Amino acid sequence: MAQVFAIAAAIFVLDQASKWFVVFHLNLINLGAIDVFPPYLNLRMAWNYGINFGLFAADSPATRWALIAVALAICTGVVFWLYRAQVGLLARISAGLLLGGALGNVVDRVLYGAVADFLNMSCCGISNPYSFNVADISIFAGAIGLAFFAEGDAQRKS
């Protein structure tokens, strides 16, 4: 479990530090957009009140706290599952990625009422209208990793 929590802590710090640096230090919150390597990498400020791709994006306190509760419930479920199952290294890494990212976005919702998204990538004539952050990448990678690596090496503790 120490590996899981170390990975989660590292992702959480990386996520929060990147948000602070880009949103506040580079002043993206006021500039709205910074072209880094167009069209492949741009910084576009977006406050996400919902989940991925703006789903459930109602700007209401009820939605905000419901999404916080769901994220914390998922984190709690993953931690309990980890305590009960013996999983391999790839599943532990995946769980750490998911936990760190989810908690990073929870902190945003508590502090700002929404998640600070700023990374925008487009390619090959396709313009991506969505922004995301380090936590989103981590959550996605962790969930995919758990889908692929959790079942194959999970065993119940006796």
From first to last of its 158 residues, the chain has per-residue pLDDT tens of: 899 999 999 999 999 999 999 999 999 999 999 999 998 999 999 999 876 555 555 667 888 898 999 999 999 999 999 999 888 999 999 999 999 999 999 999 999 999 999 999 999 889 889 899 999 999 999 999 999 998 755 454 44
Which residues are designated catalytic? Answer: 117, 136
150: containing domain? 2-156
Is the model's pTM score more than 0.95? Answer: no
Residue 1 tokens read as: 């479990």
Number of domains in the chain: 1
Residue 66 tokens read as: 């419901």
Residue 26 tokens read as: 């580079």
Q: Roughly what angle, to the nearest 10 degrees, separates helices 134-153 and 89-112?
A: 150
